[in-house]
Amino acid sequence: MSRLEELIQQLCPDGVEYKALREIANVSIGEFVRKDKQSPDAPYPVFNGGTSNTGFYDEYNRTANKIIISARGANAGFVNRVFTDFWSGNSCYTIDVTDPSVSWDYLYYWLKSREKKLLGEQQKGGIPAVSKKQVEEFLTPAPPLEVQQEIVRILDQFTELTAELTAELTAELTARKKQY
């Protein structure tokens, strides 16, 4: 039996309570910043409705270690996490965990694992979108912190291993192309 299975058996014998995201975190939308006000030399990344930052800005409106979800555009529902202070644009929800019994890393992995569901719930129209209410009502399991920490440990190891294997595979493919 794995450590995780032991913890679940010991700490959650009757299952796990599910909570709406609004019960464990604040969900807020960012503020618009014009593209001509951004600079590649500025220190803070700007996140909006995409899968990566859209530029850099001299100010930040969110502190580090936050989860973000794209609110509008083709990638509405995309889940990411930011480890530095950043500027949250008006097409970006910031998830700020407020419940001390919930790990932000655990919540990130949970939301990331349900990203397809969020992407599938886009409101169609001129510009696809995921509403703040949809995000706030998203149900999240809240096992004891010790269980969350073990889940995060396992997923962090898996993520690290995946990155190493990807780097090795990329190097091998590059060498093969050069060889041919």
Q: Which range is least confidently modeled, 6-15, 19-28, 74-83?
A: 6-15
Residue in the block written with tokens 């899968």: 51
Mean pLDDT of all residues belonging to the chain: 89
**Averaged over 36-45, what is the pLDDT?**
94
Percent residues over pLDDT 70 in the chain: 97
Closest CA to 143 of 1, 18, 5, 6: 18
Q: What pTM did the predictor assign? A: 0.83
pLDDT tens digits for 95-142? 999 999 999 999 999 999 999 888 877 777 778 889 999 999 999 999
- Residues 136 and 152: their CA atoms lie apart, in Å, by 22
Mean pLDDT of 13-31: 92
- What is the pLDDT, as a whole number, of residue 1? 60
Number of Cβ within a 10 Å radius of residue 62: 20
* pLDDT at 80 (0 to 100): 95
Is residue 40 predicted with pLDDT exceeding 90? yes
Closest-CA residue to 89 (of 21, 33, 15):
33
Helix (H, G, I), strand (E, B) or coil at 104: helix
Does the pLDDT of residue 8 top 90, yes or no?
Answer: no
What is the pLDDT, as a whole number, of residue 87?
A: 97
- With 70 as the cut, is the pLDDT of residue 4 above it? no
CA dist list (Å): 157 to 54, 55, 151, 153, 160 = 29, 30, 10, 6, 5
pLDDT at 66: 96
Residues 58-97 pLDDT 10s: 999 999 999 999 998 888 999 999 999 999 999 999 999 9
Phi-psi region of 15 (alpha: psi -120 to 50; beta: other; left: phi over 0): left
